[in-house]
Amino acid sequence: MTKDTKKEILAAIDRPLRIGTRQSPLAMAQATMVANALLSIHGWRPDQVELVPMIASGDKIQDRALADIGGKALWTKELDRALGNGEIDCAVHSMKDVETIRPGEFILAAMLERADVHDRLIGADSIDALAERAVVGTASPRRKAQLLRQRNDLDIRLIRGNVQARLKKIEDGEYDATLLAAAGLKRLDMDDIGAEISNEIMLPAPAQGAIGVEVRSEDSHVRRLMHAISSTNTFRAVTAERLFLEQLTADCHSPVAAMATVDGATIHLRAEILLPDGSQFVDGKSSFDTGDVSAPGILADTLLGQASAELKAVFGR
């Protein structure tokens, strides 16, 4: 960008850019990363951005699985309202928690460069090292199915609450172990906690480790500001994973994993669908051009085509 366009963008800001976020420590850390990226790339003063923390419905409900009470919208509803109203200029999300189909009035304008995509096991050095019938807390149908595939003796129970609350429950002995995304732990400066589980054993959730920024589609000014902090490779990889998920018509009940990597002009997508009890799964991979928007859906159809009637039924087929 030339010096003149930079000046023009700066001049257009007559008040701080309001960045909407959930108020959990992880969400605040993510929004701060977006704020810092903007300050750094646009050369702004710290007072030219403002974090606007909001409580999401999902934060108020701690005793049931998300899947049972309204799914991913519980994380986006409040922020959507504020973004639609113009109370905030953008909303920062963990892309893993964002529905595949979003209101047309919003657009994903940026994704920060993706962090570590592994899951980490807290409470034991490996899945095999867990005691017989150990109690493992997770709220993720994917992690539950992948754990049971490896160890069908494990007692998988629902765990809710933010990262700190979950770690406390392990400390207190309420659960023997849990799984958390390495990306989230790192953002909370806790990346040394637990043991890394390989992507072979636990392929991550679609969009795991990616932070996205949504803006109003019509707001070309903020779109342009966000474009400057976006990682093209992360955007392409996460978009492929989300297209895969969309074709499956999966929701947060569905045990699904997908991970794409970008190598030059090629996307490599690996994905897997499982029965909730881990007793069956189908996995596959596909490599395609970065411009190919139908390949992820074709992989989804291929996996479903190889699935048993029971596994198809998990995806309403």
Ligand X SMILES: NCc1[nH]cc(CCC(=O)O)c1CC(=O)O
181 in contact with ligand X (CB under 6 A): yes
Q: Give me the catalytic one of 80, 97, 119, 176.
A: 97
213 binds ligand X (CB under 6 A): no
Distances (CA, A) of 284 to 5, 32, 133, 269, 307: 45, 36, 30, 8, 12
Site mask, ligand X, residues 105-144, x = CB under 6 A?
A: ----------------------------------------
Does 24 bind ligand X (CB under 6 A)? Our answer is no
| 102 DSSP 8-state letter | -
Active site residue 97: yes
Binders of ligand X: how many residues, by CB under 6 A? 10
* Smaller CB separation from ligand X, 202 or 269: 202
Q: What is d(CA 234, CA 174) in angstroms, rounded to the nearest whole number?
A: 37
Among 209, 212, 255, 278, binds ligand X (CB under 6 A): 209
Q: Considering the complex, what minimum distance in angstroms separates the CB of residue 94 from ligand X?
A: 4
Q: Concatenated DSSP letters for 202-256?
A: SPPPTTTT-EEEEEETT-HHHHHHHHTT--HHHHHHHHHHHHHHHHHT--TTS-E
* By the rule CB under 6 A, 42 interacts with ligand X: no
Cα 229 to Cα 22, 97, 114, 159, 213: the distances in Å are: 20, 21, 12, 34, 10
> If binding is defined by CB under 6 A, does position 259 make contact with ligand X?
no
96 lies in the binding site for ligand X (CB under 6 A):
yes
**List of residues contacting ligand X (CB under 6 A):** 94, 96-97, 180-181, 183-184, 208-210
Active site residues: 97
